[in-house]
Chain A
């Protein structure tokens, strides 16, 4: 995968915002370096690329966006208050494949400045009170470990307690293999969280970014009232490569892309990143019975 350049740009972005609630979440844009679009290879000044929400102004490619940056992009200015949810160290299997699993988590924390693959915030979105739950693909591939599941479930409960709409940005490779069956259980835990939001009749909107697979897609990512996919995002249960190897079938053109899923009736809309806040805001306003 040729995501290396976009990743570089993310690493230049400000980090360690986890404990900083509210206004400090606003970006101090990276000031050095250039970024190449992973698709057309056009180079941009990092600052410009970030200002364009990591979307290539040349070819429209939607690059990877970290969880903190997602919150900045979706929340109204100076309204996001990140929730510092501590979930501790979890290692249900005592997993060690040369590097002990807790060490992998520690490294991911250091590298991303995040506590887990989910970052949550209460915020205003186009004037609507919302709970934002954003996944970060850079944190162990956005994999759904028990810590990430716990953070999402708490976001659901807080949305209910504070009568906020829930907006989740999903991007994940799937299960966190190092947690084995405990990772599988997160599909149940997150679904239980969503069930509370459904019972409370609060709007729940999901935004599916590239990539979104496995147990994340097969649970909270598609249990929403409205499923929005970003252009070109690859979304599915089993990965295309796995399917090709298992079945020796030739994959159809555009298989598992956002546009393919729209044509197959699996998502409500494909929305460009720059229009997400407006699109989601309008929906929530309508569901909430406001003009």
Chain B
């Protein structure tokens, strides 16, 4: 066992990384969409129950091609944060995403997903309307979708709520983003029965996207100039645009049967 002081320092650093990923001025999905696409037309509603504003999506042009862009939006100020439910989707959000992915498949448009959620929403309505069912459907949809897919983890990729939009052919992540099985607060509540021990959980769970990269859920990290994307939004958004277009170009050349088979075997092996 390390000494208490070392442990505390390690935990402090680990949780500071989580806080950096949660910085309110990091680029948000709508901001990225506005900056890198043209003609983005938001399509709303899941055609079943309602419209979840934590997930936004619609067709757009990007780098000379048509693309379906779907994002988890956290909001940028108190009003928009409440409007977008802090980026925590209800089942309708996942069902809307699946609807748009199917539409992309129909028109042979690649799909770009911008992942940014602490977790799927935990609430009575979300459970009544099948949160787990909606996520499970989105996972299967992404695994079988017959069009190229790219996901970018912007800040927080939390739980199945993030994974549901992240089973893409290529998964990119901003360098300072986190990708976790659950937020450190939840992990601490489960592991130590004390949500207050979130720093300890953060240190133990290695939430940085380098871990996700190592176990096969993330392919490429997009560098952020210090101190992070919150201070260099235009630069980082340009880097996102460049990386996404590069991957879409590569994916375009792969026969679709091969692409789906590769995607399937890649996620069959994910997690070691």
What residues make up the interface of A, taking CB atoms closer than 8 Å to B? 90, 92-93, 95-97, 146, 149, 153, 175, 177-189, 191-196, 198, 214-215, 217-223, 236-238, 242-243, 246-247, 249, 251-252, 255-256, 264-266
Interface membership of B190, Cβ < 8 A: yes
Q: Residue among A214, A218, A221, A222 with the most chain B CB within 10 A?
A: A218
Given contacts A97-B191, A218-B131, A238-B122, contact A184 B272 (CB under 8 A): no
What residues make up the interface of B, taking CB atoms closer than 8 Å to A? 120, 122-124, 126-133, 135-137, 139-140, 143-144, 159-160, 163-164, 167, 179-182, 186-187, 189-192, 204-207, 211-212, 215-217, 264-265, 267-272
Closest beta carbon of chain A to B147's beta carbon, Å: 16
Closest beta carbon of chain A to B34's beta carbon, Å: 30
Closest beta carbon of chain A to B18's beta carbon, Å: 13
| CB closest chain-B residue, reference A176 | B181
Contact of A185 among B129, B189, B271 (CB under 8 A): B271
Closest beta carbon of chain B to A88's beta carbon, Å: 10
In the bound complex, residues from chain B placing their C-beta under 8 Å from that of A149 are: 271
Given contacts A180-B211, A181-B179, A249-B124, contact A189 B136 (CB under 8 A): no
Closest beta carbon of chain B to A103's beta carbon, Å: 14
Can you offer 15 A-B residue contacts whose CB atoms are under 8 A?
Answer: A97-B191, A153-B268, A175-B181, A177-B187, A180-B180, A181-B180, A181-B181, A182-B272, A184-B180, A188-B167, A188-B271, A195-B144, A238-B122, A251-B124, A265-B130
| CB closest chain-B residue, reference A241 | B189
Q: Residue among A187, A220, A221, A236 with the most chain B CB within 10 A?
A: A187
The answer to whether B163 touches A187, judged by C-beta atoms less than 8 angstroms apart, is: yes
Give A153 to B132 CA distance when docked, in angstroms: 20
| CB closest chain-A residue, reference B166 | A188
Contact of A242 among B122, B191, B204 (CB under 8 A): B122
In the bound complex, residues from chain B placing their C-beta under 8 Å from that of A192 are: 143, 264-265, 267-268
Given contacts A146-B271, A217-B132, contact A185 B215 (CB under 8 A): yes
The answer to whether B127 touches A256, judged by C-beta atoms less than 8 angstroms apart, is: yes
Given contacts A188-B271, A222-B136, contact A195 B190 (CB under 8 A): no
Contact of B182 among A175, A246, A249, A266 (CB under 8 A): A175
The answer to whether A236 touches B136, judged by C-beta atoms less than 8 angstroms apart, is: no
The answer to whether B271 touches A93, judged by C-beta atoms less than 8 angstroms apart, is: no
| CB closest chain-B residue, reference A198 | B140
| CB closest chain-A residue, reference B159 | A184
In the bound complex, residues from chain B placing their C-beta under 8 Å from that of A196 are: 264
Given contacts A195-B264, A238-B127, contact A223 B136 (CB under 8 A): yes
The answer to whether A184 touches B211, judged by C-beta atoms less than 8 angstroms apart, is: no
- 9 A-B pairs with least C-beta separation: A185-B271, A238-B122, A217-B132, A218-B132, A237-B132, A185-B270, A188-B267, A218-B135, A192-B268
The answer to whether B216 touches A185, judged by C-beta atoms less than 8 angstroms apart, is: yes
| CB closest chain-A residue, reference B263 | A192
The answer to whether A189 touches B269, judged by C-beta atoms less than 8 angstroms apart, is: yes
Chain B binding surface, main DSSP class: helix
In the bound complex, residues from chain B placing their C-beta under 8 Å from that of A92 are: 215, 271-272
In the bound complex, residues from chain A placing their C-beta under 8 Å from that of B182 are: 175, 177
The answer to whether B160 touches A215, judged by C-beta atoms less than 8 angstroms apart, is: yes
Give A286 to B211 CA distance when docked, in angstroms: 46
Give A186 to B191 CA distance when docked, in angstroms: 19
| CB closest chain-A residue, reference B127 | A236
Closest beta carbon of chain A to B154's beta carbon, Å: 17
With contacts A191-B139, A223-B136, A237-B120 known, what are 12 further pairs, Cβ within 8 A? A93-B211, A97-B191, A180-B207, A187-B139, A187-B160, A192-B143, A215-B159, A218-B132, A223-B140, A238-B122, A242-B122, A255-B124
Given contacts A90-B272, A194-B140, contact A184 B160 (CB under 8 A): yes
The answer to whether B160 touches A219, judged by C-beta atoms less than 8 angstroms apart, is: yes
In the bound complex, residues from chain A placing their C-beta under 8 Å from that of B164 are: 218
The answer to whether A237 touches B264, judged by C-beta atoms less than 8 angstroms apart, is: no
In the bound complex, residues from chain B placing their C-beta under 8 Å from that of A219 are: 135-136, 139, 160
Closest beta carbon of chain A to B39's beta carbon, Å: 32
Give A266 to B143 CA distance when docked, in angstroms: 22
Given contacts A185-B217, A185-B270, A255-B127, contact A243 B122 (CB under 8 A): yes
Q: Residue among B123, B144, B180, B215 with the most chain A CB within 10 A?
A: B215
Q: Residue among A188, A214, A251 with the most chain B CB within 10 A?
A: A188
Given contacts A95-B204, A188-B163, contact A181 B127 (CB under 8 A): no
Give A243 to B165 CA distance when docked, in angstroms: 23
Give A141 to B190 CA distance when docked, in angstroms: 12
The answer to whether B124 touches A247, judged by C-beta atoms less than 8 angstroms apart, is: yes
In the bound complex, residues from chain B placing their C-beta under 8 Å from that of A194 are: 140
Give A195 to B143 CA distance when docked, in angstroms: 8
Contact of A189 among B180, B186, B267 (CB under 8 A): B267
Closest beta carbon of chain B to A135's beta carbon, Å: 15
In the bound complex, residues from chain B placing their C-beta under 8 Å from that of A247 are: 122-124
The answer to whether A189 touches B130, judged by C-beta atoms less than 8 angstroms apart, is: no
In the bound complex, residues from chain A placing their C-beta under 8 Å from that of B131 are: 218, 236-238
| CB closest chain-A residue, reference B133 | A222
The answer to whether B215 touches A182, judged by C-beta atoms less than 8 angstroms apart, is: yes
